[in-house]
């Protein structure tokens, strides 16, 4: 009876802190339900404006459980900054800047779009920089798998929005920090993804689509890994992208469709499905 009472008390404490233990029961720092809701809405294209994104962000920040250690608080806050940056980054297709560069027309519309993209990149980078700073502070307290991986995630996204010198100086740190995360916790599915994502998304000279596909498929099928919902989405779209880059469009199409089982309204997957359906 005494043990039952202890379990009952523990259960109610966990429920009160709103931690998503069911999806991250062995995680270094568990996700709160509010942050998970923010992430879910982001990937499923259910955030209609920056104001709405900031509402989700504020709710996620405020969901910080009192039972969290200082290390866990810093990792949690780092995640909040990272996903707000991801939302800002998703507001524009930054690859369109390359199209702008190739246009000789110097109309006001072209200049305005170029400036808007530049501003959004800077705004996204500011959130990723905050995420990095918070992760660094967490790692000063102790080395932890989740601190290392959110550090790697923020650097990876910064490589998308910052200049080439930043990429040269920091790009390799993504693999280094994800490796450290795996050394501390070999079941960290997010770290598994970032360890090999460069095989898929690095410039062509450095990419290795065959290895990238093999690793993503093995991670997706490995039930011993601790995988969040978004991890499985990234494994699936990574597999799809490997087929796309090797011109196997039918397989790429099927895998992108499969990703919609996780996030039915994900705009990246829907865009790729539309593209591949025309090939």
Q: Are residues 141 and 211 in the same domain?
A: no
Q: In this structure, are residues 150 and 82 in contact, taking their beta carbons and an 8 Å threshold?
A: yes
Are 70 and 154 members of one domain? yes
- Tell me what the mean pLDDT of segment 247-275 comes to: 96
Given the structure tokens 């397989």, which residue do they identify? Answer: 251
Q: What percent of the chain has pLDDT over 70?
A: 84
Residue where a domain terminates, one of 125, 143, 173: 173
Q: What is the pLDDT of residue 92?
A: 55
Total domains present in the chain: 2
Residues 212 and 159 in one domain: no
CA–CA dist 173, 157 (Å, integer): 12
What does the alpha-carbon distance between residue 277 and residue 211 come to, in Å, rounded to a whole number? 26
Are residues 67 and 17 in contact, defined by beta-carbon separation less than 8 angstroms? yes
Q: Which residues are bridge partners to 19 per DSSP?
A: 32
Same domain for 207 and 154: no
Which domain-ending residue is among 121, 151, 173? Answer: 173
pLDDT at 69 over 80: yes
Between the CA atoms of 197, 200, 205 and 211, what dihedral angle is there, to the nearest 10 degrees? 90
pLDDT at 211: 94
Helix (H, G, I), strand (E, B) or coil at 202: coil
Quote the pLDDT of residue 185.
95
Whether residues 18 and 128 fall in one domain? yes
Q: Please, which pLDDT band fits residue 62 given cuts at 50, 70 and 90? A: very high
Domain contains 180: no
CA dihedral 212, 208, 271, 225 (to 10 degrees): 10
Going 268 to 270 to 271 to 276, the CA torsion angle's sign is positive
Same domain, 87 and 35: yes
> Is residue 179 in a domain?
no
| Tokens, residue 83 | 């996903």
109 Cβ contact list (under 8 Å, min separation 6): none
In a domain, 181, yes or no: no
The answer to whether residue 155 sits within a structural domain is yes
Alpha-carbon distance values, 114 to 5, 19, 142, 172 (Å):
62, 41, 42, 28
Tell me which of 120, 146, 173 is where a domain ends: 173
Contact 62, 33 (CB under 8 A): no
Residues 81 and 108 in one domain: yes
- Residue whose C-alpha is closest to residue 75's, from 28, 114, 25: 28
Judge if 35 and 133 occupy the same domain: yes
Query: What is the pLDDT at residue 102?
Result: 47
Closest by CA to 127, choosing from 157, 84, 167, is 84
Mean pLDDT of 20-46: 82
Confidence of residue 58 (pLDDT cuts 50, 70, 90): very high
- Render pLDDT for 122-179 as a digit per residue (tens, 0 to 9): 999 999 999 999 999 999 999 999 999 999 999 999 999 999 999 999 999 999 999 9
In this structure, the answer to whether residues 165 and 247 fall within a common structural domain is no
**Domain boundaries, position 64:** 1-173
Q: Is residue 97 part of a domain?
A: yes
One domain, residues 167 and 190: no
Do 160 and 205 sit in the same domain of this protein? no
Q: Is residue 35 part of a domain?
A: yes
Task: Give Dmax (Cα) for the chain.
Answer: 78
Could you tell me if residue 139 is inside a domain?
yes
Q: Tell me the CATH number at 214.
A: 1.25.40.10
Residues β-bridged to residue 32 = 19
| 159 Cβ contact partners less than 8 Å away, ≥ 6 residues apart | 166, 167, 170, 171, 174
pLDDT in tens, 83-135: 999 999 886 554 444 444 444 455 566 667 778 788 889 999 999 999 999 99
For residue 156, being part of any structural domain is answered with yes
Tell whether 219 and 145 lie within a shared domain.
Answer: no
Torsion sign across C-alpha atoms 255, 259, 265, 271: negative
Residues 117 and 97: their CA atoms lie apart, in Å, by 7
């Amino acid at each position: 009876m005494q043990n039952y009472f202890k379990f009952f008390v523990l259960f109610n404490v966990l429920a009160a802190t709103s931690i998503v233990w069911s999806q991250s029961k062995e995680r270094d720092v568990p996700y709160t339900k509010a942050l998970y809701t923010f992430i879910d809405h982001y990937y499923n294209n259910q955030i209609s404006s920056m104001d709405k994104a900031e509402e989700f962000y504020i709710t996620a920040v405020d969901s910080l459980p009192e039972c969290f250690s200082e290390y866990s608080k810093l990792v949690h806050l780092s995640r909040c900054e990272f996903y707000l940056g991801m939302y800002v980054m998703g507001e524009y297709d930054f690859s369109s800047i390359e199209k702008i560069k190739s246009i000789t027309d110097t109309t006001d519309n072209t200049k305005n779009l170029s400036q808007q993209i530049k501003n959004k990149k800077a705004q996204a980078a500011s959130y990723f920089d905050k995420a990095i700073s918070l992760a660094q502070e967490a790692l000063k307290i102790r080395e932890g798998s989740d601190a290392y991986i959110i550090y790697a995630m923020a650097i990876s996204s910064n490589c998308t929005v910052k200049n080439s010198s930043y990429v040269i100086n920091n790009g390799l740190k993504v693999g280094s920090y994800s490796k450290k995360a795996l050394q501390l916790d070999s079941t960290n599915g997010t770290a598994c993804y970032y360890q090999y994502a460069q095989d898929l998304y690095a410039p062509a000279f450095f990419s290795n689509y065959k290895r990238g596909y093999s690793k993503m498929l093995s991670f997706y099928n490995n039930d011993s890994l601790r995988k969040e919902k978004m991890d499985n989405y990234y494994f699936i779209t990574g597999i799809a992208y490997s087929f796309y880059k090797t011109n196997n469009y039918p397989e790429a199409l099927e895998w992108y469709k499969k990703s919609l089982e996780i996030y039915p309204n994900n705009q990246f997957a829907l865009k790729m499905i539309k593209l591949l359906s025309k090939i």
